[in-house]
Every structure is written in C-alpha cells, then in structure tokens.
Amino acid sequence: IEFANNVFILTKNKKLGLVDLNNNEIIPTTYYQIYPRKNNRFILLSPEKKGGVIDNKGNIIIPNKYKYITNLHLADDFYLVKDINNNEGIFDFKGNEILPVEYVFYNSDKGTIFGSKDEQAFLFDLNNLDNTIILDEGIELVSTVRHYSGGEQFYQIISKNDKYGIINFKNVIVISLEY
C-alpha cells in the first residue's frame, strides 16, 4: 500500500488499483503498474502493458492505449506517448493533444523538444507552438541516449550530407557540420 496524490495505491495478486480515503474503489486492482505523477495524475500500465494517464478521481486524461508513455520533465506539464508503430506525440497534463502522434522525438529540455516527421526536422516550443523552428532542409536529427539532468544545457547531434555537428535548444550551432 502506497499513499500518493491523496489516494492509496493497492496491490492484490500482483496487480494494482486505486482507492480513495474512504476505501471507495477508483480503479480496480487489475493494472500492471501505476506511477504517481504531479498534478494529481497517475501513469497506468494495463495488464497488456498499454499506457495512459488518469487523475486521482479516476477520470481518463490520456487513453490507456500507448505502448510507451512518460512525462517530459519534472513539472509533469507534458506527456510523450508512443504508439505501436513507434510514432510519438505530446499531450499536456490536461490531456490536450499538443502534437499529434505522428513524429519521432529526440532530446527534450523543459518545454522544448527536437522532433522529425517525413524527413523534416523541427525544434518545438511546447508552451507556444507558434515559436516552432523548422530546421534547414536536409538536416537530420541523430538519436542519442535521452538523459534527465536538472539544469544541464541540452544539445542535439545533427547531420547533413554525411557531416555531423551539434545545435543547442536555442537553435544555435555549437559545433558546425564539419565532422
């Protein structure tokens, strides 16, 4: 038994569920995993290991249908989801779709994330999509291990014409495309 977001996470027969302070069932003990998050949210994994998000009242915020789901940063303002075709999208903490599930995402830093779709690379400002930067044609984003260090300046490896370089989250070239 664990207390989080003003409810109890219960385990029964290796399955998890939620009950309120009056022992009223919020969701049955049928889930593979329940991860408490801020904003009274929980990431759920079904027995089929499909992910979604609910609030502490049991209201569905993001449907339980994604093969992968995670919060983007410590404030839990945004959730990244991945479908069975490895397409990714972004939802806000209220469950509003910010970016449709049709991208591939790379590094993220707070409300900024590098993404690509149909051979076009982007630098998305999730707090204001009007500030999205479309990177130069031919620029490809290179997959790196995602890391989550507070306060660290994040960088993205890019390539063009078999040359590599690095840009930061302000779209400033840190290492030119020479290597």
CA distance 175 to 11: 50
Q: Which among 41, 49, 23 has a CA at the least distance from the CA of 95?
A: 41
CA dihedral 24, 27, 31, 33 (to 10 degrees): -80
Residue 76: its pLDDT value, please? 79
Report pLDDT digits (tens) over 45-80. 999 999 999 999 999 999 999 999 999 876 678 999
pLDDT tens per residue, range 99-117: 999 999 988 887 889 999 9
Whether pTM > 0.95 for this model: the answer is no
Per DSSP, the residues of 37-104 read ETTTEEEEE-TT--EEEEETT--EEEEEEESEEEESSTT--EEEEE-TTS-EEEEETTS-EEEEEEEE
Percent of the chain surpassing pLDDT 90:
78
Q: Contact at 8 Å (CB) between 40 and 53?
A: no
Q: How many angstroms separate the CA atoms of 136 and 113, rounded?
A: 16
Q: List the single range of 75-84, 104-113, 115-124, 145-154 with lowest mean pLDDT.
A: 145-154
pLDDT tier at 146, thresholds 50, 70, 90: low
Cα distance between residue 150 and residue 37, in whole Å:
17
